[in-house]
Amino acid sequence: MERAERNRPRFIPAGTADAAAGDVGRALRALSDTDLVRLKALARLWSRGLPGGLGWVDVLNEAVVRSLDGSRRWPPDVPLLAFLSGVMRSIRDEHWRRARRDHALLVATPDQSWSVAATDDPERVLAAAQALGAITSLFADDPAALKILAGLAEGMTATDIRLHYDMSERDYDTTRKRMRRTLLRRGLA
């Protein structure tokens, strides 16, 4: 028997919001420990790197709430974990769209200093400027990292940055890894 069929009760008439919410609720209660670990891993995957302090628990809870309140319908031919994974992916995408719409724009000035374009929220502008200043000063002695930062600020792709600054693919990748490790160590990533 297919996993979706095993998790989906057969005694609730299909097509009603209450039936769908009941199906999801019963299927969630029937999940095995292994399935719960998989669900947690999926939530961690979809919440990785989300701005605004949104964690995997928040993403998972929101997916369950949307499934239970009927705003997201569980299709009969989709396994529950795949359905919830899709809901979490949608939540992540929605959160990123909102963050991109609301975030401050970083602008490189001719002297290669960085500024932040104004937005509606001065606290966010200040936080972005402070973070950018910390990152720039962290890599002040690393010309390759500063080139990559400048290219990223201009919206360039990795290929564009390498071509523009005459960097080999290996040099670019090595520098990005070094930057990532440094940012992680400092708690800025």
pLDDT for 116 beyond 60: no
Residues 39 and 83 in one domain: yes
Q: Give the residue numbers spanning the domain of 67.
A: 3-101
112 and 171: one domain?
Answer: yes
128 and 167 assigned to the same domain: yes
End position of a domain, from candidates 43, 73, 101: 101
Q: Residue 4 is encoded by which pair of tokens?
A: 């979706």
With a cut of 60, say whether residue 6 has pLDDT above it.
no
Out of 101, 119, 145, pick the residue that ends a domain: 101
Among 53, 76, 101, the domain-final residue is 101
Give the 3-state DSSP-derived string for the chain, with helices as H, strands as E and coil as C.
CCHHHHHCCCCCCCCCHHHHHHHHHHHHHCCCHHHHHHHHHHHHHHHCCCCCCCCHHHHHHHHHHHHHCCCCCCCCCCCHHHHHHHHHHHHHHHHHHHHHHHCCCEEECCCCCEEECCCCCHHHHHHHHHHHHHHHHHCCCCHHHHHHHHHHHCCCCHHHHHHHCCCCHHHHHHHHHHHHHHHHHHCCC
Same domain as 79, residue 11: yes
What is residue 55's predicted lDDT score, i.e. its pLDDT? Answer: 85
Instruction: Give the confidence band of 129 by pLDDT, cuts at 50, 70, 90.
Output: confident
Q: Are residues 97 and 11 in the same domain?
A: yes
70 in the same domain as 143: no
pLDDT score recorded for residue 110 = 46
Can you give the pLDDT at residue 121?
59
The confidence score (pLDDT) of residue 60 equals: 92
**Full-model pTM:** 0.48
What is the rounded CA–CA span in Å between residue 59 and residue 49? 12
22 with 93, same domain?
yes
59 and 112 in a single domain? The answer is no
Question: Which residue from 145, 133, 126 is spatially nearest to 188, judged by alpha carbons?
Answer: 133
pLDDT band at 48 (very low <50, low <70, confident <90, very high): confident
How many domains does the chain fold into?
A: 2
Categorize the per-residue pLDDT at 4 as very low, low, confident or very high, splitting at 50, 70 and 90: very low
Is the pLDDT at 122 greater than 90? The verdict is: no
